[in-house]
Amino acid sequence: MTPRWRHERFGAIVALDEPPLLAHVDQELAQDLGIPPSPLWKEPPREALEAPEEAHLTLTRRCNLTCTHCYQDSSPRTADDDLTLAEWLLRLDALARARVFHVAIGGGEALTRPDLLDIAAAARERDITPNLTTNGTLVTEEFARRAAALFGQINVSIDALPPVRVFGTDKATAGMRAASILVRAGARVGVNVVVARQNFDAIAPVVAWAAATGLVEVELLRLKPTGRARVRYLEERLTRAQRERLFPLALELASRHGIPVKLDCSAAPFIACHAPDAERLERFEVAGCIGSLSLLGVDERGRTSGCSFYPASTDDVLDLARGWDGSPAYAPFRDYVRTAEEPCRSCPYLRSCRGGCRAVALFLTGRGEAPDPECPRVEDHCARA
Amino acid sequence: MRTLDVEQLRALLPDIGTAGLADAAASDRPLRGRILKLKLGFNPNSSSVGTTVVVFLWSLVASGAVLSFTAAVLAHRFRRRTRDA
């Protein structure tokens, strides 16, 4: 695939699939690469990009499993009112017109849709790189062979290795098998681990297994209080000690096993509390909430949101060209830095962390624009107050 | 003409590979401008966006080398695109 690029006010975004990267380049470097100047370069800078870099597509809310921590409340009984293939193709057209670079496809379980590979192929035809998250239970040799040629990367969800069983389902055995099949088929494969109180000590074995199996990375995801996960969130969320341990643990495991370990955007406060180099945070996009700045959530009906954990708006992604700049649904995300309350306002990491997770704030305080109450700095501030 | 120390960069960035540069000159001339932000890898997770903590294992010198290497990769790819067009 040839390099893809898109003008931005600061210069351009350049995307490669091999090696996989997104680079924001200034106007001078953009021109040096042969990218022509744009009228956008005369516009004042702003935080939100001109369009999303990446969209998260919930192709379906149906799932063959019923995990207790599911952020979508998915199950085999979930009503089937998903967009059809033809309807998704129109949404992919809208994303392609906006020059979105990547889509992350998930659910529910996306493999319950027989047309999943058609949708992925349609994204490729539109110069959009499709990526996939799956629980792995429906992965076959034939699927793996076709998927390896289509997806940029496939992550399998495994929250602990057997015999440890968490979140009400035993999906790890099938997930481990699926990961091995996909690796053998030549796919680029990673693993997602939702991290909660009960499986915190199970992270290290998953990382060791991933490295030994030839996976390319491990992503640690903070449990979020949405969907079915709301029910037991207060008992299952990370303790203060675990939140503070997460970042050093990720570094230790990455170093020990020689595999990249990622923390998801909601974990930014747990990185910031260790006072890392702020410039490096920004330069290498170790970012907090980027909902509606460079990221767009799209639900199974095509409705958009700042991120997949936040309630969907009534806007359809078909109207992305108008909605991206005009929708009030993105205000809790876009206005955060400008309107931040204490202790975020005076935090040196405000611009990169952006107040932690909006979904956690909405659940615990009733206000999506509040500082994340599980940030150690916020917790200390509230205790003093 | 400068050449890349591909082995050194591969050690820094196992994920990025050599991008076909193992036998190529990095650049005919120094690049102008700079990379403002760099996000490595894909993000397959459909609910949130992950960022690698590996960058904190790099020394300051190495993080500069990663950006220089990436700029060289981009220049190489854009030149190839022009050649192939």
For residues A133 and A245, state if they share a domain: yes
- Six-digit token pair at A323? 């909605």
β-strands A11-17, A304-305: how paired?
A: unpaired
Does residue B17 register a pLDDT over 80?
no
A28: helix, strand or coil:
helix
A245 or B14, which is more confident? A245
For residues A19 and A126, state if they share a domain: no
The DSSP output letter for B31 is P
Count CB atoms within 10 A of the CB of residue A351.
15
For residues A243 and A284, state if they share a domain: yes
C-alpha distance from residue A67 to each of A75, A163, A167, A238 (Å): 8, 17, 6, 18
Q: Determine, yes or no, domain membership for B37.
A: no
Mutate to test the interface with B, among A71, A284, A296, A298 (most CBs of B within 10 A): A284
For residues A92 and A37, state if they share a domain: no
C-beta separation of A132 from A155 below 8 A: yes
For residues A13 and A118, state if they share a domain: no
Q: Determine, yes or no, domain membership for A359.
A: no
| Domain extent at residue B69 | 1-19+57-85
Q: Is omega for the bond preceding A19 within 30 degrees of 0, making it cis? A: yes
CATH code for the domain of A316:
3.20.20.70
Q: Determine, yes or no, domain membership for B65.
A: yes
Measure A384 CA to nearest chain B CA, in Å: 31
Q: What is the pLDDT of residue A152?
A: 96
For residues A63 and A23, state if they share a domain: no
Q: Determine, yes or no, domain membership for A348.
A: no
Distance CA A286, CA A247 (A): 12
- In tens, the pLDDT along B24-82 reads 444 556 678 999 999 988 998 877 888 888 788 777 777 888 888 888 888 888 886 66
Structurally, chain A folds into a number of domains equal to 2
Does residue B12 register a pLDDT over 60?
no
- Six-digit token pair at A313? 């708006």
Q: What is the pLDDT of residue A346?
A: 97
Q: Determine, yes or no, domain membership for B8.
A: yes
CB contact under 8 A, A25 and B74: yes
Distance CA B41, CA A74 (A): 28
Q: Determine, yes or no, domain membership for A142.
A: yes
For residues A169 and A27, state if they share a domain: no
Tens of each residue's pLDDT in chain A, 385 residues: 689 999 999 999 999 998 889 999 999 999 999 999 999 999 999 999 999 999 999 999 999 999 999 999 999 998 888 999 999 999 999 999 999 999 999 989 999 999 999 999 999 999 999 999 999 999 999 999 999 999 999 999 999 999 999 999 889 999 999 999 999 999 999 999 999 999 999 999 999 999 999 999 999 999 999 999 999 999 999 999 999 999 999 999 998 998 889 999 999 999 999 999 888 888 888 889 999 999 999 999 999 999 999 889 999 999 999 999 988 889 889 999 999 999 999 999 999 999 999 999 999 999 999 999 999 999 999 999 8
Q: Determine, yes or no, domain membership for A186.
A: yes
Q: Is A196 exposed, middle or buried (0-12, 13-18, 19+ CB in 10 A)?
A: buried
CB contact under 8 A, A262 and B52: yes
β-strands A129-134, A154-157: how paired?
A: parallel
CB contact under 8 A, B32 and A276: no
Q: Determine, yes or no, domain membership for A313.
A: yes
Within 8 A of B20 by CB-CB distance, chain A residues are 18
- Six-digit token pair at A5? 């690029």
Closest CA to A276 of A301, A247, A249: A247
The beta strand positions in B1-85, using DSSP E, are: 2-3, 25-27, 35-40, 50-52
Q: Determine, yes or no, domain membership for A177.
A: yes
- Six-digit token pair at A239? 């303790």
- Six-digit token pair at B73? 């990769």
Structurally, chain B folds into a number of domains equal to 1
Q: Determine, yes or no, domain membership for A354.
A: no
Q: Determine, yes or no, domain membership for B77.
A: yes
Distance CA A219, CA A253 (A): 12
Q: What is the pLDDT of residue B24?
A: 46
Q: What is the pLDDT of residue B4?
A: 47
For residues A23 and A171, state if they share a domain: no
ipTM attached to this prediction: 0.92
For residues A231 and A312, state if they share a domain: yes
C-beta separation of A334 from A47 below 8 A: yes
For residues A31 and A89, state if they share a domain: no
Q: Determine, yes or no, domain membership for A353.
A: no
Measure A247 CA to nearest chain B CA, in Å: 8
Does residue B1 register a pLDDT over 50?
no
Does residue B18 register a pLDDT over 50?
no
| Domain extent at residue A326 | 54-339
C-beta separation of A302 from A320 below 8 A: no
* Residue B10 confidence class, pLDDT cut points 50, 70, 90: low
For residues A11 and A150, state if they share a domain: no
Within 8 A of B74 by CB-CB distance, chain A residues are 3, 14, 16, 23, 25, 29, 33
For residues A268 and A193, state if they share a domain: yes
